[in-house]
Amino acid sequence: MDGDALQEIARTRAEELPAAVVTHPFGPEYDVAKVVGRMFLLLTEVRGERIVVLKADPRDSEALRQAHSDITPGYHMNKRHWITLEPGGELDAELVRELVTESYLLVVEGLPRARRPVDPGSFGARPGSTPSP
């Protein structure tokens, strides 16, 4: 997948999430998706390549980097808690959407309960399924 498609899939998914907004706090060359004022996605360009930067659980981040050559430590972010999705590799649209959603939910989990736009334990769960603890 090329960088344009990668960023478009990530941006579209971010905009679908409850209370998420795309802003430009660092200038027009950086799209930043936030939920209740907290960042969960960064879209930018590095060395001519469009990339996506997402929050990730440190254990998941390490596993994702080992499993996918086009997932690297977060560009200009905490390398344990953020990942970068790079174009040109094996990433598919479903995985990109899933990673954007997981990034969003990690941020929502850190919000005070009264400010959470969704319950992170059950958001996206299928009807009749048991939410994770």
Give me the architecture of the 3-110 domain, per CATH: Alpha-Beta Complex (3.90)
* Alpha carbon distance 101, 46 (integer Å): 23
Q: Quick one: pLDDT at residue 133?
A: 44
Whole-Å CA distances, 27 to 1, 4, 32, 84, 90: 26, 19, 10, 19, 30
Residue 131 banded pLDDT, cuts 50, 70, 90: very low
pLDDT of residue 19: 97
**25 and 42 in contact (C-beta within 8 Å)?**
no
Model pLDDT for residues 11-55, shown as the tens digit of each residue: 999 999 999 999 999 998 899 999 999 999 999 999 999 999 999
pTM here is: 0.90
Q: Is 43 exposed, middle or buried (0-12, 13-18, 19+ CB in 10 A)?
A: buried
Asked if 73 contacts 48 with a C-beta cutoff of 8 angstroms, the reply is no
Domain boundaries, the chain: 3-110
